[in-house]
Amino acid sequence: MKSGYLPIFCGILIAASNCSINVGVGNLDIVPVEEPHTLQVIPVSDYDNYWDAIRHFDFDYINRYDVSEEQRNFVRGLELSINGEYDDAKELFLTLFVNSDDSLKRENIAEVLQKLLTYDYEWDKLIELDNQLPNGLDKDNTIAFARAFQSSPPEQYYFPLKSVVLPTKLSISGVPIIEVMVNGVKQKFWIDTGAEMTVLASDIARKCAVTEFKDDIAELGTSTDIMVESWPGVINELRIGELTIENHPTFIIGKKDLEFKLFKLIKIIKIDGILGWNAIMNMHIEIDYKNGLTTIKRPETVFNPNRNFHFMSIPFLSLTDTLGTPFNFYFDTGANSTKLFRPGLLKVDTSNATTKSAIIGGAGGTQKIKQIVLPAVSLILGNNRLNFGRMDAHGDGKKDFFYYDGVIGSDIAKYGTLILDFQNGRCDLKLTEND
């Protein structure tokens, strides 16, 4: 349940060079690394004030400047969240919210807390939080989603003893697609970490007899500047192979807003459903793009001192460049290409950058943009160095509270296996031996 941003599909539809990737050849060269790079804590840029710094992940600001204890605790709450200690983070943020008499601080605390409560389906607390703000959590009626889900039976996961292995195809934009059963009806779902909740097209929701709450319509943003109408629904039974999810909360969107047409005439993509973040976060998923297989199993918690897969308002990955400069990239398997946002441009060499036009697509349609093109960027993700022969940059990177350096798309895994183990804070690539 998101105010202002529902990233469902943000790959480049035109400018096909962005869609190509070869391990060792072409736009992306992936090289294994043996030793993790040491993070540089010195900020790339200083900021005008505390809030600007924290929104750009400059948590060291509190060590360089005189700040209040309340401001230090807010950063501590963010660090707890990034380390996966969500219960402690929520408790701290709730205490800060109740004890603060500063309206700006309360709004910022509530913005972060809203996402953490949504993450754990704590609808009662979310509604209570909304009631404590003069103007509510947002103006888009998204609190109505919480009320709808509050009235539904609790969600349940039933994992089989063995891993689920599913044939997987790629959409025209490179997003992995698997077959699922929605209330006993076979459907094809995109796997998209960029969608906050599982999504259904309105015609599919009706076809599958999904419980709909059409009185609770909200306007949600997409990966473009287009707003679309959405309303809550609950899938009584979502089967993914032998894995069963009961009472699964979902967004429902008008089917026309999930169709993409060339020149507004020829339909090239129709999305029936999307397996969103509220399902993905509860699974261990390995997507073998090269061989067309997706493996899903129950996550087993292990100690991981090198977490690189996090959630605040959205899932994001922590990376470095080859010098150890930290980057925070929003993680969107629904995007067909990795790109930078404006904050990331401050951390890379832009002396040979050029500009060009491109078209991006999202729920509701397409949008023409101007973007910057960088000739080469290298990033470290987990055990691999990603050497991009070129990378595009567009947008300010603001997603709810934070400003991100870029977005990681499906292009990084086209010739290998993408490992999503969120419960252990791990995202990595596994390359096949002949690569």
Q: Could you tell me the CATH number of the domain that includes residue 310?
A: 2.40.70.10
CA distance 334 to 360: 12
Residue 52: CB partners within 8 Å, gap ≥ 6? none
Do 179 and 285 lie in one domain? The reply is yes
In a domain, 4, yes or no: no
Task: Identify the domain boundary among 130, 150, 170.
Answer: 150
Q: Are residues 217 and 232 in the same domain?
A: yes
Q: What is the pLDDT of residue 10?
A: 36
Residue 379 and residue 373 in contact, taking contact as beta carbons nearer than 8 Å: no
- 189 and 56 together in one domain: no
Same domain, 354 and 318: yes
- Are 284 and 201 in the same domain? yes
Question: Considering the domain boundaries, does residue 418 fall inside one?
Answer: no
- Residue 142's pLDDT is 74
What is the pTM for the complete model shown? 0.87
What is the rounded CA–CA span in Å between residue 260 and residue 368?
14
- Confidence at residue 44, expressed as pLDDT on a 0 to 100 scale: 58
Q: 388: buried, middle or exposed (CB in 10 Å: 19+, 13-18, 0-12)?
A: buried
Q: Choose the final residue of a domain: 96, 125, 150.
A: 150
d(CA 210, CA 248): 10
Q: Write down the pLDDT at residue 27.
A: 83
Q: Which residues in the chain come in under a pLDDT of 50? A: 1-25, 224, 261-267, 363-365, 435
- 189 and 217, same domain (yes or no): yes
Please indicate, yes or no, if residue 419 is contained in any of the structural domains. no
% of the chain surpassing 70 pLDDT: 83
Inside any domain, residue 316: yes
* b/e sequence 160-186, b meaning 16+ C-beta within 10 Å: eeeebebebebbebbbbbbebbbbeee
User: What's the CA gap between 313 and 322, in Å, rounded?
Assistant: 27
Per DSSP, what are the bridge partners of residue 275? Answer: 191
pLDDT at residue 433 in the model:
62
Q: Same structural domain for residues 175 and 286?
A: yes
Q: Is residue 343 part of a domain?
A: yes
CB 117 within 8 A of CB 93: no
Residues 163 and 290 in one domain: yes
Give the pLDDT confidence score for residue 241 in this predicted structure: 97
> Is the same domain home to 313 and 199?
no
- Is 430:415 a contact under the CB 8 Å cutoff? no
Q: Which of 297, 323, 342 is the endpoint of a domain?
A: 297
Q: Quick one: pLDDT at residue 252? A: 94
Domain assignment present for 277: yes
**Tokens in use for 401?**
């509270």
Within a domain: 434: no
Domain that holds residue 203: 156-297
- Whether 130 and 227 map to the same domain: the answer is no
Residues 324 and 292 in one domain: no
> How far is residue 142's CA from residue 412's CA, in Å, rounded to a whole number?
33
On whether both 272 and 375 belong to a single domain, the answer is no
Number of domains in the chain: 3
Which residue has 């599913």 as its token pair?
Answer: 166
- 339: its two tokens: 């790109």
- With respect to residue 366, please indicate whether it lies within any of the assigned structural domains: yes
In this structure, what token pair is assigned to residue 248? 């699964």
